[in-house]
Amino acid sequence: MKVAIIADDLTGANATAALLSTQGFTTLTCLDNPEYAEDYDVVSFSTDSRSVSYQEAYARVSRYLEIINPEITTISKRIDSTLRGNLGAEVDAVIDRFPQLMAIVVPVYPSSGRICVGGSLLVDGIPLQNTAMRNDPKNPMTESSVMELFRKQTNKNLGYISLSSVLAGVNTLVRELKTLYHKNVRIVVIDATTDEDIHQIATAILKTKVPFFCVDPGVFTAQLAYLRYSSGRKRTNKIFVTIGSVSELTQRQIRKLRYERQVCIETLPAETLIDYAFHPETASELVAHLTSKTDQYDVVGIDTVELPEHICCLKTLSAKYSIDENEVTCLINKGLAEITAQVLEKESSPFSALYSSGGDVVVAITKRLQGNGVILKDEVEPLTVYGNLTGGSCCEIPIITKGGFVGDDNTLVHCIDYLSAKVSTQRKETAVM
């Protein structure tokens, strides 16, 4: 067991386990008997303790700690993304059992609009206490400050690391974390607003060599586990992205994806793609480069434009290659399809799903893979469809396709999240017992 998740409800236990499942970990949500825990990389326990007393929550968490060795297993105290529940009692239980550990509290879930700035939780830009959670019948949230919530629920020494320190980089974080630990601080609240911030924090805490456990809604735990255990473990369930559209909307969608998710997307000049269309054998170096990026990223891909100045002049290319403008666009699409096909067809390819934008690009990819078409299964958003390729070398691979002028700024992020969830549910290694 590499990671033990202790959540205060079943929904949270499943959600965090699912995040790690998408990263290639074998996961089990355990409702009671932990007999099979050692057979899985990640075991997620539900204490059903969100609305019980301090004493009862403490006892329920303590029960599962008896079977965990923090020297070989990363402990994740999963908390609600709106900070409901017995934060203090459940963190106290871990610290009292393992006093050498420091709680790293990263109470954010950027893709769901939960960020922490100035030590306060914001939900879609609104302080927690000013949201509908203020009127929650069981756990009314009248406080936005994460620090204040812990102060009211625990007598452990508290520390705080600001967003400015996170943005200053890993070395600054390492220095501050070590200082707090040696001052006997055992609960540290850290600001974060993006997945990149979370990645920085996870990298830093591992670099400190300070004994710790995670306190978060799941994203920090997933990042930490990814960094800590990725070596020696084959990573699958990656998504390949091929974007041929050059619309202004597409450019905004790509920028939004880069900002909110950890992705690697290479922008390829039109001339390069045309060369690949004429000489497919020259693409092997790029294919190897893209595949290698899956050691660090779950989403890897290619596009042709991310800034207005990247847009090529079809007339110039037409003159250069002595072909008409329509043939130029066909060759660009053929180059995109060639790279995509070589990446997907590569032996032991880590990619198990595809996103493609631009109708002509989808057609080119399908033809290059010798497929028959797409079996449609769902509409992710209007004019944005999910299905499986049929026929050819990548038969049944999940795919989302859409036009270049379809959706809003968030559509690409939504599509990638949707595809990630679909790929995750196809894994047979996740269980509930």
pLDDT single digits (tens) 33-58:
667 677 889 999 999 999 999 999 99
pLDDT single digits (tens) 185-211:
999 999 999 988 999 999 999 999 999
Give the number of other CB atoms < 10 A from CB of residue 386. 22
Both tokens assigned to 301: 């891909």
Higher-pLDDT residue of 165, 359: 165
Q: Is the pLDDT of residue 230 over 50?
A: yes
Please report, rounded to a whole number, the percentage of residues in the chain having pLDDT higher than 90.
74
Domain boundaries 3-232, corresponding CATH code: 3.40.50.10840
Q: How confident is the prediction for the chain on average, in pLDDT?
A: 91
Q: Which residues pair with 116 in a beta bridge?
A: 121, 192
Q: Is the pLDDT of residue 150 over 70?
A: yes
Question: What is the average per-residue pLDDT within 226-252?
Answer: 81
Q: Is the pLDDT of residue 332 over 70?
A: yes
Class of the domain covering 238-430: alpha beta
Q: Worst-scoring range by mean pLDDT, 35-39, 121-125, 353-357?
A: 35-39
Q: Sorting pLDDT into bands at 50, 70 and 90, what band is 348?
A: confident
Q: What is the pLDDT of residue 431?
A: 43
Distance of alpha carbon 173 from alpha carbon 334, whole angstroms: 46
Q: Sorting pLDDT into bands at 50, 70 and 90, what band is 31?
A: confident
pLDDT single digits (tens) 95-117:
999 999 999 999 999 988 999 99
pLDDT single digits (tens) 296-317:
888 999 999 876 776 788 889 8
Q: Which residues contact 79 (CB under 8 A, 6 or more apart)?
A: 8, 12, 85, 87, 90, 107, 215, 216, 217
pLDDT single digits (tens) 174-183:
999 999 999 9
Q: Sorting pLDDT into bands at 50, 70 and 90, what band is 235?
A: low
Q: Sorting pLDDT into bands at 50, 70 and 90, what band is 428?
A: very low
- The label of the residue with tokens 């991310």 reads 306
Q: Is the pLDDT of residue 433 over 50?
A: no
Q: Sorting pLDDT into bands at 50, 70 and 90, what band is 430?
A: very low
Question: What is the average per-residue pLDDT within 72-77?
Answer: 96
Distance of alpha carbon 27 from alpha carbon 24, whole angstroms: 9
Question: What is the average per-residue pLDDT within 319-330?
Answer: 92
pLDDT single digits (tens) 386-425:
999 999 999 899 999 998 889 999 999 999 989 987 876 6
Three-state helix/strand/coil letters over the chain? CCEEEEECCHHHHHHHHHHHHCCCCCEEEECCCCCCHHHCCEEEEECCCCCCCHHHHHHHHHHHHCCCCCCCCEEEEECCCCCCCCHHHHHHHHHHHCCCCEEEECCCEHHHCEEEECCEEEECCEEHHHCHHHHCCCCCCCCCEHHHHHHHHCCCCEEEECHHHHHHCHHHHHHHHHHHHHCCCCEEEECECCHHHHHHHHHHHHHHCCCEEEEECCHHHHHHHHHHHCCCCCCCCEEEEEECCCCHHHHHHHHHHHHHCCEEEEECCHHHHHHHHHCHHHHHHHHHHHHHHHHCCCEEEEECCCCHHHCCCHHHHHHHHCCCHHHHHHHHHHHHHHHHHHHHHCCCCCEEEEEEECHHHHHHHHHHCCCCEEEEEEEEECCEEEEEEECCCCCCCEEEEECCCCCCCCHHHHHHHHHHHHHHHCCCCEEEC
The full set of domain ranges for the chain reads: 3-232, 238-430
Q: What is the pLDDT of residue 365?
A: 96
Q: Worst-scoring range by mean pLDDT, 24-33, 151-160, 218-227?
A: 24-33
Q: Which residues pair with 5 in a beta bridge?
A: 44, 76
Both tokens assigned to 161: 């690391």
Q: pTM for the whole thing?
A: 0.66
Distance of alpha carbon 160 from alpha carbon 79, whole angstroms: 18
Q: What is the pLDDT of residue 407?
A: 92
